[in-house]
Structure 1
Amino acid sequence: MNDTWLDLTRFIREMRTPAGLPLDDELTRDMDLYHDLEWEPARILDVMQAWAQRFQVDLRDFDVAYYVPSANMRKLDIVAAALKSPFSASARELLGGRSLTLGMLEEAMKCGSWKTD
């Protein structure tokens, strides 16, 4: 088994524990921090900074709003987009964002820096 993956899963479990119940499910590389782990943008930023420090990953190119567009939106704008989403592809895209997966974190750990698609 890959040491990088084991180190990452241990870290993610540590980050999950203070937020509530421990994560008992098996972690997979395709798990998304926002959709699957249910972390809000502020939590994602905190975790990413702790992760980068622990594993010496350069986050210069990381922008949480690229992955979770609502990170830079006012709550009122998020609600408005949610109400429009059944009828508007652009509203759905705005709320959906891009994947931010554990596999992406693992790859960044291997190369030492975050690369945006």
Structure 2
Amino acid sequence: MNDAWPDLERFIREKRAPAALPLDDKLTRDMDLYHDLDWEPAKIVEVMRAWADRFHVDLHDFDVRYYVPSANMRKRDIVMTALKSPFSASARELLGGRSLTLGMLEEAMKRGAWKQD
């Protein structure tokens, strides 16, 4: 799949369609699923599974908690961590996670497998 971007772009727009605000902005490879698209961890997992099925990508190495550490936190713990974040680099890192970008999905489509950094 040499030119995967147009297919990925269509797929993301389909998955974003039910959102309150339509995704009219231009999609870019550096857009993050959590930070830029505002998808919660459960939505990211749902979309990643559908994406893997549609584009035949092996997801054995994918773990949403690696990219969004708060995915396995209780809401109370997330709130406490958010309150600590102005004073704690580790709290900010925990809330921020790692990038999970459209460009990473495009590369995985070309490889046929997800590779965690």
Query: What range describes the TM-score normalised by the shorter chain of this pair?
Result: over 0.9
Q: SS at the partner of 1:18?
A: coil
User: What is the rounded CA distance, in whole Å, between the counterparts of 1:53 and 1:19 in structure 2?
Assistant: 22
1:19 Cα deviation after fit: 2.4
- Residue by residue, what CA displacement relative to the aligned partner does 1:77-112 show, whole Å, maximum 9, x if unpaired? 000000000011111111010000000000000000
Query: Identity of aligned pairs, percent?
Result: 81
> Structure 2 unaligned runs (5+)?
none
TM-score (norm 1): 0.96
Written as runs of structure 1 = structure 2, the 5 A alignment for 1:20-99 is: 20-99=20-99
TM-score when normalising by structure 2? 0.96
Deviating above 2 A after TM superposition, structure 1's stretches of 4 or more consecutive aligned residues are 19-22
For the aligned residue pairs, the C-alpha RMSD in angstroms reads 0.9
Structure 1: which 5+ runs fail to align?
none
Q: In the comparison of the two structures, how many residue pairs are matched?
A: 116
Letter of the structure 1 residue corresponding to residue 76 of structure 2: L
**Structure 2 counterpart of 1:8:** 8
